Amino acid sequence: MKFELIIDKSKEESLTLLSKKESAFTSKIENLVMQYNGIDLLQVYYENEIVNLPIEDIECFSVIDGKLYAIDNENKRFFVNKRLYEIKEELPKNFITINKSSIANKNALSKFTLSFSGAVDAIFKSGYKEYVSRRCFAEIKRRIKNERLC
């Protein structure tokens, strides 16, 4: 197998993969390329400082007391000076809506818990817990089921 990377700022970005046959490896590469939208860092505020937070470290975006926060994998809250719908447009496909005021990183979800009242909570790897609406939970189940079939 050969790998070649050519960086030319004057050209439009494209990626070509030549393979003898389709495999799980080529499918993973395709998914990785298609999910990438060019955003690796998000400028956020933490304790009077401006910080560049890697998108992959963010477990959840949540509106708390009318302000948008990014919760990272260490359960720290970073203020985001944007609206939720603006952030949603910029995020990779592994971020999913879990209620009208929260977007979750699907890769950071640990499990879902169900209470006696029928409410569903998403538990993240850091221990952070967020409510999941019934409508969004149905969509999450459909997406997970479709991904397993592929």
| Fold held by 41-149 | OB fold (Dihydrolipoamide Acetyltransferase, E2P) (2.40.50)
Domain boundaries, the chain: 41-149
Query: Per DSSP, which regions of 35-108 are E strands?
Result: 41-46, 49-54, 58-64, 67-72, 77-80, 95-99, 102-105
Q: From first to last of the 150 residues of the chain, give the pLDDT tens digit.
A: 777 777 777 887 777 888 888 888 888 888 777 766 566 889 999 999 999 999 999 999 999 999 999 999 999 999 999 999 999 988 888 899 999 999 999 999 999 998 888 889 999 999 999 999 988 998 888 887 877 665
Question: What is the pTM for the complete model shown?
Answer: 0.70
